[in-house]
Structure 1
């Protein structure tokens, strides 16, 4: 309105000026008339200003409401406009591809969902056995695992996986966990079925261990129910240590008999940790109470390759088992691109007749020729996927190359029908990327079974090539 007043004053002055130029000597009456006209015009403009302010006030108030602000169309910013503040309205969930598969996240990050996929294919050949039935060669889809994991508001996480192997479908990890900080440490309490926390190799997912199959030591010393059990597991994790305790029944079953009861605990410490490595110390133990429905206990262990079911180490049958207890010790470490691990222990199977001892151990080592740090976690005491320094396909990238070796032994000879065996293994793992692996492993094995079709002392060698991807 200030501009209008100025305009009116200008009109008046222009009229005076025009009159002055038109008449060299205006009369007093003419000047008084012009002055009256200017005053009248100014009063009219003031009246219009007041009316316009009254009409604009409700519009401004309505424009300041959240509903009007949301409905107002956005105007594009000019190139030189200052940056606008972020909108407070909800935005679409973010998608993170950093792990290789999409992770969906809610705008506030409280909810996440990420699929899990693992495909493993093997080519295996066994020769040198005294039994022709053991000299087998062929291919196998070692496993196809599908699942999902994520986070739920309130400190909860979930994990669900199903494994398709040997033309059968089985449930692996399937649990919900509550997570929180406790005196600066990470506390996790899970409910459901999950992999046992039993040693470095036994507590690591199969696709993340340096070897194609777990050692005879892992298979020998576990509880009767196997590597999985449904129940409650708690973990407390610090910077270089962790401790776990679980109380579980059998793995997911048909519900026709009572479950066994297993109590298991483990702890580890990554001592003297530096940027160049650390010393790994650990131990675990368990005790299980078998139900009367468990009338026979026996084991048939994989030797070198799961493809060859005729190449197994048999423990023999144990009649009327009542329970078992076991323990294991872990010693090793990481130094630069190399690592070493020694694990061993004993399981005592309690039967109505007497107790039987089952002994096993494994010595393993590896070295990354391409300089990667061995992915043994100082926090969890388990293997993870390596972080490849120069991924294949990235310009001059060639992936990571690791040489591995292992000697393992299992002994069931405390029983008259129990066998014993050992293997020497050498292998090379090529990791083109963090999520892919191509492995070639060769092992020389010796097995003596005292029962079954392939009873007697036997030896030979097995070569296996594996291609694997996992996310």
Structure 2
């Protein structure tokens, strides 16, 4: 019978034999028939030990060279045998259609809202990466231009991780919740004040019932080409803290606060805020400040609240931004929303690390079920009127219906009622009207 020991066991055995040999030699050299024979035995054992170490290193290299393909039912993941290297391919597709009432100055339209392809994974265990590209909007502003995420992340710290590259700034609950998992087709009107992706460096940490994130970022990409002069692009310091004082399997209370400080560019100090009526298929903005010049600094503050009790949830956010101008009065704009949702089929909104996660139907279509059905209602408003700026005030009410056939296929319908537009001097001042928006969504 042949006994085959693992490399580590063989190493320990050989080390023990060597130690025993030296002890015997030290106790009574005279008992040894020959010092030369003993030396030969030691040399032989050392050679075997070296061979075992080489074999062990070769086995490790072979394990690393072997690739395992895995799937979670949605995406494909490749991983080395030792678990130190991985790569996962993912994507997202959202197709929209919108039908506007005659009082809304927009035409019926269809649109590929998002068409993402991304690659993410890890290397040497502690390092992570992600690259995401949007083929639907390859040439627009930085908030939606082709390259979305492009960053490295170091996870080797005892508490927290460090991210370097282009990624979402830590500001706002809806902003940080993926568009895949948003209750409505578009985020609330206050989202126009949330800085989107920026190049920068960030640190985030979390525990069972709280999260904290902070980052330093450059200005939006388009600011670098907005003037032909050499200039700084501006800087942002952004942070967010959340807590869940109550959290169980199917109930929670979420509280959050976010702060942004922006130092404008040296020469081109313009800012602009605008928003569509929570539908992007047509792209027409009902409120728009136009360019606001001579902005030296600006701040933004966000408050977050959410509560989930079984299939029922409530969520609300308030955001305010303040602008300091060098030759004109300071400005203050704000916006907020509140919504409620209910799952007719008994699901509950999942929550993870300060944001809401993917809905997983209790009984998916294809497995003998009807999927998950969700009803939702929202009120949303934004005010861009202050001092000499008349960007407009917009009030919206939305009813939503979501059908999650599986955890990666979803169909949605939103009925939006534009309650009022208060924008003195513009063609849309005082209008109201109806919009029906539809979406088909798939991700992997």
The answer, yes or no, to whether TM exceeds 0.5 is: yes
Match status 1:389 vs 2:362: yes
Name the counterpart of 2:116. 145
The correspondence of residues 440-459 of structure 1 with structure 2, limited to 5 A, is 440-445=413-418, 446-450=420-424, 454-459=427-432
Match status 1:171 vs 2:147: yes
Aligned partners of 2:111, 2:98: CA distance in 1, in Å? 8
Confirm or deny: 8 A CA contact 1:128 1:459 kept in the other structure.
no
1:154 Cα shift? 4.4
- CA shift digits 1:318-353 (9 cap, x unpaired): 221112001111122111111111110311011112
Confirm or deny: 8 A CA contact 1:235 1:242 kept in the other structure.
yes
Aligned partners of 2:293, 2:224: CA distance in 1, in Å? 23
Aligned partners of 2:425, 2:163: CA distance in 1, in Å? 41
So what's the TM-score if we normalise by structure 2? Answer: 0.80
Compared CA separation, residues 170 and 250, structure 1 to 2 (3 A): farther
SS at match of 2:190: helix
Please say which structure displays the higher CA radius of gyration. 1
Match status 1:245 vs 2:220: no
SS at match of 2:349: coil
- CA shift digits 1:408-451 (9 cap, x unpaired): 11011113322101110001111111111100110101223346
1:89 Cα shift? 5.5
Compared CA separation, residues 450 and 254, structure 1 to 2 (3 A): closer
Name the counterpart of 1:202. 175
So what's the TM-score if we normalise by structure 1? Answer: 0.75
SS at match of 2:180: helix
Aligned partners of 1:336, 1:97: CA distance in 2, in Å? 30
- CA shift digits 1:178-228 (9 cap, x unpaired): 01353xx5x111001111221210112222211111111111x23xxx411
Q: What are the ranges of 5 or more consecutive residues in structure 1 without an aligned counterpart? A: 1-61, 71-85
Aligned partners of 2:128, 2:76: CA distance in 1, in Å? 17
Compared CA separation, residues 284 and 88, structure 1 to 2 (3 A): closer
SS at match of 1:424: strand
Compared CA separation, residues 252 and 314, structure 1 to 2 (3 A): closer
SS at match of 2:240: strand
The correspondence of residues 98-113 of structure 1 with structure 2, limited to 5 A, is 98-113=72-87
Name the counterpart of 1:287. 261
Aligned partners of 1:272, 1:365: CA distance in 2, in Å? 19
Over aligned residue pairs, what C-alpha RMSD do you find?
Answer: 2.5
Confirm or deny: 8 A CA contact 1:193 1:252 kept in the other structure.
no
1:126 Cα shift? 0.7
| Equivalent residue for 1:332, pick from 299, 303, 306 | 306
Name the counterpart of 1:406. 378
Confirm or deny: 8 A CA contact 1:147 1:162 kept in the other structure.
yes
1:162 Cα shift? 1.0
SS at match of 1:217: helix
Aligned partners of 2:260, 2:375: CA distance in 1, in Å? 33
Aligned partners of 1:151, 1:125: CA distance in 2, in Å? 44
| Equivalent residue for 1:369, pick from 344, 361, 364 | 344
Aligned partners of 2:281, 2:343: CA distance in 1, in Å? 28
Aligned partners of 2:306, 2:99: CA distance in 1, in Å? 32
1:376 Cα shift? 2.9
The correspondence of residues 223-234 of structure 1 with structure 2, limited to 5 A, is 226-234=195-203
Q: What are the ranges of 5 or more consecutive residues in structure 2 without an aligned counterpart? A: 1-47, 140-144, 226-230
Compared CA separation, residues 384 and 159, structure 1 to 2 (3 A): same
- CA shift digits 1:111-151 (9 cap, x unpaired): 1101121111011111041x6x42x2121111111111001
